Chains A and B, each alone.
Chain A
Amino acid sequence: MAEFHEISPNASAGAKTLNWIDNRFPLSVLFKAHMSEYYAPKNFNIWYVFGVLSLLVLVIQIVTGIFLVMHYKPDAALAFGSVEYIMRDVPWGWMIRYMHSTGASAFFVVVYLHMFRGLMYGSYRKPRELVWLFGCGIFLALMAEAFMGYLLPWGQMSYWGAQVIVNLFSAIPFVGPDLALLIRGDFVVGDATLNRFFSFHVIAVPLVLLGLVVAHIIALHEVGSNNPDGVEIKATKDANGIPLDGIAFHPYYSVHDIFAVSVFLIVFTAIVFFAPEMGGYFLEYNNFIPANPFQTPLHIAPVWYFTPFYSLLRAVTTELMYVLMACVVLGAGLAVLKGKMPAMFKAIIAGGAVVVLAMMLSIDAKFWGVVAMGGGVVILFFLPWLDNSAVKSIRYRPSWHKYLYAVFVIDFVILGYLGTLPPSPLFSRVAQIGTLFYFAFFLLMPWWSRVGPFKSVPDRVNFTAH
């Protein structure tokens, strides 16, 4: 608690007002802590703009969302028509709606790039684990938000996409069918489902999302930002306790980010005005047909940002289950034979493997597909503890780590592309190989990430003034 501070009666009106507020609310303190005296590393590169951009997109989504709700009707009989009403009859409604739909895709673009930045520079490593965990929570909430929002236009893709995803839950043994019923609120996706998804999409999930964003930023500002060199700037401070390699977020990065925001908005508005459907990737053509519970569109696929995970789901067939069972046997066998641990742990691992194998044999591949899809997202949460490399940043890792990351990115893109296509024997096989690689990348990371040779990390960040 700060002492009450009296200001000179000759001070300007502005200074007096600020002093009046500061005596009642820590305005200046907060501004200093998070803006003018938050020291960020001076060697940020282009990868460091996506955090600010995702905050910008969040604001765009909330503002456009508020205005869309003024005209939208969450009723199975009226929803499709009300979206068309927004598009045709509401003045500038088309632009608000296209900003919202393009914003959804833009959100995932910037968030995927933001996450990849974290992966490259080891931004999830100690002491930034919680920053990463809150971030993964944001990603999860964002997926829920996008999925439920996609039902609202009540087009064919809305309807059948929701039908497929809700049915995923019914694959869970014992409780699944009741859980799916509880989510839908009816025996099929219907008016009850639309209403509750609307409630979640406009109130519940955005509140969670905002809370997580605040937690993400508070945690970040507590530990300080990482940087492309993975060097802790707090280790080298000047006489005033300010990191030598740090510069104040405001004005240096706030101004710098305005440039990034401008470039982003040029691209964003270009899409809103000239390609809001993005060739069927941002808004699927089938979604311009009203929902029809009796006819599934000939080809259904989720929106592009879900397709990598959708590919994981589709890849798990009875055949792949045998491969996965072989992996479980191999993993448990290696742990028991080669692992350096007490016999007690080995017995637990062997017993666990037997239980998993029994479950894999007795439960449908469909359920394991759901596990793969969920696992593909959940595994990201564990990254801070999977990565055991001696250095944080990719810059000081061996070249073959870079190639491995490149293969991972290509794999993710291929899985995403295959997820948009109709199933075919060849592509299913490719997706299965891609799925195995995706999980091997993470699950084997504790071992491969240790292997060098690593380059020596400098004491200070690399920076040349420009």
Chain B
Amino acid sequence: MSEALADSGSVDSSKRTWLIASGCAGAVGGVAAVVPFVSSFQPSEKAKAAGAAVEADISALKPGEKMTVEWRGKPVWIVRRTPEQLAALPKLDPQLADPNSTRKPEEQAPVYARNATRSIKLEYLVTVGICTHLGCSPSDKFQKGAQPSLPDDWEGGFLCPCHGSTFDLAGRVFKNKPAPDNLEVPPHMYLSDTKLLIGEDKQA
């Protein structure tokens, strides 16, 4: 029959309509079948559940020191700043990309940390130790003065080893560096003077 059709050159249009319709239905089914496979790329329920808050004991932290705790698989830094380091912060404003954290404020820090020192208590900086550029963990450069990869008037802060972004001791990024934003301050609260809870705050 098909040969006869091909010879006559005529097309059975109702048959063609049904071929197109069933082809489309098949395509829809094919696309739908992709959904479960792509969805399987998402974080598993187990991975989502691992985001619980963590407690940190800061009683042993001396001025000028840093400790790191793990929260959601990321390093969270707790830095106890010296009065001298705190005094240097406002002087840096002109050299910073976003000194007052006005760019995407809701992503950079919770409301209670949107201040000059980006912290609840003046002394303690709590920040996620992940560079906002491409996710490396910056290294401590607390020592003042000239050193490799840093300006001569360095006041202490962090240097990202990957692409050279620099941050001050409030986690604020310097101008003309690859990182676009200041380091993220996670939600946190003080359970007591020496106990810090990271990942939860009073609003939650």
Q: Taking beta carbons and an 8 Å cutoff, which residues of A are in contact with B?
A: 160, 163-164, 166-168, 171, 181-188, 190, 192, 196, 293-300, 314, 317-319, 364-366, 369, 422-424, 428
Contacts and interface: CB of A to CB of B under 8 A. Distances in A.
Contact of A192 (B47, B162, B163): B47
Contacts of B42: 181-182, 185
Nearest to B151: A425
Given A164-B162, A168-B134, A196-B41, A186 B180 contact: no
A165 to B, nearest CB: 8
Interface string B74-86: 1100000000000
Contact of A186 (B73, B160, B162): B73
B136 A296 contact: yes
B38 to A, nearest CB: 8
Interface string B152-190: 000000001111100000000001111110000000000
Nearest to B179: A366
B26 interface: no
Contacts of A163: 134-136
A297 B161 CA distance: 7
B72 A185 contact: no
B115 to A, nearest CB: 25
A188 B149 contact: no
A207 to B, nearest CB: 16
Contact of A422 (B72, B135, B161): B161
B41 A183 contact: yes
A294 B71 CA distance: 11
B71 to A, nearest CB: 10
B47 A186 contact: yes
Contact of B75 (A293, A297, A422): A293
Contact of B136 (A164, A364, A422): A164
B144 to A, nearest CB: 20
Contacts of B179: 366
A95 B47 CA distance: 37
Nearest to A363: B180
Chain A to chain B: the 3 pairs with minimum beta-carbon distance, closest first: A423-B164, A167-B135, A188-B73
Contacts of B41: 182-183, 185, 196
A424 B164 CA distance: 8
Contacts of A187: 43, 47, 51, 72-74
Given A186-B43, A187-B73, A190-B73, A300 B161 contact: yes
Contacts of A428: 164
Nearest to A314: B163
Q: Which of B135, B137, B138 has the most CB of A within 10 A?
A: B135
Given A164-B162, A187-B43, 10 more contacts: A186-B73, A187-B72, A188-B72, A293-B75, A298-B139, A317-B176, A318-B176, A366-B180, A423-B164, A428-B164
A299 B135 contact: no
30 contacts: A160-B162, A163-B134, A163-B135, A163-B136, A166-B135, A182-B42, A183-B41, A185-B44, A186-B43, A186-B73, A187-B47, A196-B41, A295-B75, A295-B137, A296-B136, A296-B137, A296-B160, A296-B161, A300-B161, A300-B162, A317-B176, A317-B177, A317-B178, A364-B180, A365-B178, A366-B179, A422-B149, A423-B163, A424-B149, A424-B164
B163 to A, nearest CB: 6
A295 B42 CA distance: 26
A428 B165 CA distance: 12
A163 B137 CA distance: 10
B133 interface: yes
B73 A167 contact: no
B176 A423 contact: no
A460 B91 CA distance: 74
A186 to B, nearest CB: 5
A168 B133 CA distance: 9
Contacts of B44: 185, 192
Interface in B109-126: none
B149 A293 contact: no
B149 A300 contact: no
Contacts of B180: 364-366
A365 B178 CA distance: 7
Contacts of A171: 134
Contacts of A166: 135
Contacts of A160: 136, 162
Contacts of A364: 180
Interface in B62-101: 68, 70, 72-75
Contacts of B176: 317-319
A240 B129 CA distance: 73
